[in-house]
């Protein structure tokens, strides 16, 4: 097979409320709205450029032996949650036991991409667009798609994440947008949709390395992703618009993700696949920090 486009380092360049201040020595220093955090980052294999900024971090995440376990050390009292913004979207950020804060800023590059595709189809071509967002987390991709005019189905196994997403919907003043919120195992949901003949024009996939569904269903990305992609293929409309798959925390190349995407899409739909890494550029030294690999298809 031939990959349609070269490998791309994809940056989210439109942030105002987020910045990567510095990185190095296995850590990254980031600003989320009004607070600064230091978090582990195994990819940061170089030396830090800043000094005092690290000492002034508002909170530092201390990992334990478990893959995502650990705890926050707070240098000062933080709000339980605080408001952040990306363009016209507003959302709540907060510290969590799993080191995350409710947003993966680098994925905003995908939001901009599919918002343009959706907006053109809905407003220029006057065509309804149905989007499925799997592993939807706190709903920012869902809100980006809905704000562009899509009807969105948001699926996540965590009831807490879906509740958080709905709060973000209200904060963004998008409560009137047609969004279905589903708490369920992603694979089970898509397989059932395929049996029912339900079709989508766009699919957003952001699978974790490992996870469990509401009823204890086990998700392991290497074993489960091929089956999920097959089920997603069966749920695509006759004239799909886009599919995007972002994969974190795995020892996988973007080439592997792109090849799976081409197998899924190009034989029947044509179009093109691009692949690469989602990266964030430091303010301190301008180095690129790789966050995830991705592949995406568009008509």
Half-sphere exposure of 114 (CA within 13 A, CB side): 34
- Residue where one domain finishes, among candidates 93, 115, 144: 93
Q: What is the CATH number of the domain that holds 134?
A: 3.40.50.150
Q: Give the pLDDT confidence score for residue 98 in this predicted structure.
A: 84
Residues in the chain, total: 299
pLDDT-wise least confident of 36-50, 74-88, 156-170, 217-231: 217-231
Residue 152, C-beta contacts closer than 8 angstroms, at least 6 positions apart: 130, 131, 132, 133, 142, 145, 146, 177, 178, 179, 180
- Above 50 in pLDDT, residue 59? yes
Residue 259: predicted pLDDT: 81
Mean pLDDT, all residues of the chain: 91
Asked if 87 and 133 sit in the same domain, the reply is: no
> Taking 90 as the threshold, does the pLDDT of residue 268 lie above it?
no
Say if residue 239 is in the same domain as residue 277. yes
**What average pLDDT does the segment 9-16 reach?**
96
Q: How confident is the model at residue 2 (pLDDT cuts 50, 70, 90)?
A: very low
Domain boundary among 62, 93, 124: 93
Above 60 in pLDDT, residue 121? yes
Distance CA 37, CA 43 (A): 17
Identify whether residues 179 and 257 lie together within a single domain: yes
For residues 177 and 289, state if they share a domain. yes
Q: Does pTM surpass 0.75?
A: yes
Tell me how far apart the alpha carbons of residues 37 and 196 are, in angstroms, rounded to a whole number: 45
In a domain? residue 180: yes
Together in a domain, 112 and 38: no
* One domain for residues 267 and 145: yes
Instruction: Write down which residue in 93, 120, 152 finishes a domain.
Output: 93
Within-domain flag for 7: no
Residue 59 is part of a domain; what is its CATH number?
2.60.40.1180
Same domain? For 166 and 276 the reply is yes
Q: Are residues 263 and 130 in the same domain?
A: yes
Top-confidence residue, 57 or 250: 57
Give residue 22's domain range.
13-93
Domain count, the chain: 2
pLDDT digits 0-9 by tens, 179-212? 999 999 999 999 999 999 999 999 999 987 766 6
Which tokens sit at 161? 């994440």
Q: How much is the pLDDT for 7?
A: 86
- Confidence (pLDDT) at 279: 95
Residue 5 lies in a domain: no
């Amino acid at each position: 097979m031939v990959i349609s486009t070269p490998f791309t380092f994809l940056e989210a360049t439109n942030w105002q409320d987020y910045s990567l201040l510095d990185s190095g020595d296995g850590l990254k220093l980031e600003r989320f709205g009004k607070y600064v955090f230091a978090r582990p980052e195994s990819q940061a294999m170089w030396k830090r450029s800043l000094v005092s900024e690290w000492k002034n971090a508002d909170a530092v995440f201390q990992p334990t032996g478990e893959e995502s376990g650990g705890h926050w050390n707070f240098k000062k009292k933080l709000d339980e949650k605080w408001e952040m913004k990306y363009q016209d979207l507003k959302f709540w950020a907060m510290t969590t036991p799993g080191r995350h804060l409710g947003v993966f800023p680098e994925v905003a590059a995908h939001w901009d991409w599919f918002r343009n595709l959706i907006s053109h189809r809905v407003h220029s071509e006057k065509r309804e667009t149905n989007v499925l967002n799997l592993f939807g987390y706190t709903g920012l991709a869902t809100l980006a798609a809905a704000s562009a005019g899509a009807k969105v189905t948001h699926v996540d196994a965590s009831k807490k994440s879906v509740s958080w997403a709905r709060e973000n919907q209200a904060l963004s003043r998008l409560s009137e947008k047609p969004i279905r919120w589903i708490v369920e195992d992603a694979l089970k949901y898509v397989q059932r949709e395929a049996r029912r003949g339900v079709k989508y024009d766009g699919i957003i996939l952001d699978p974790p390395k490992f996870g469990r569904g509401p009823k204890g269903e086990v998700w392991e990305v290497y074993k489960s992703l091929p089956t999920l992609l097959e089920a997603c293929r069966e749920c695509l409309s006759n004239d799909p618009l886009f599919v995007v798959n972002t994969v974190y925390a795995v020892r996988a190349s973007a080439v592997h993700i792109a090849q799976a995407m081409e197998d899924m899409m190009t034989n029947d739909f044509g179009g093109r696949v691009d692949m690469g890494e989602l990266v964030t550029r430091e303010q301190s030294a301008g180095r690129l920090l790789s966050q995830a690999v991705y592949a995406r298809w568009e008509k």
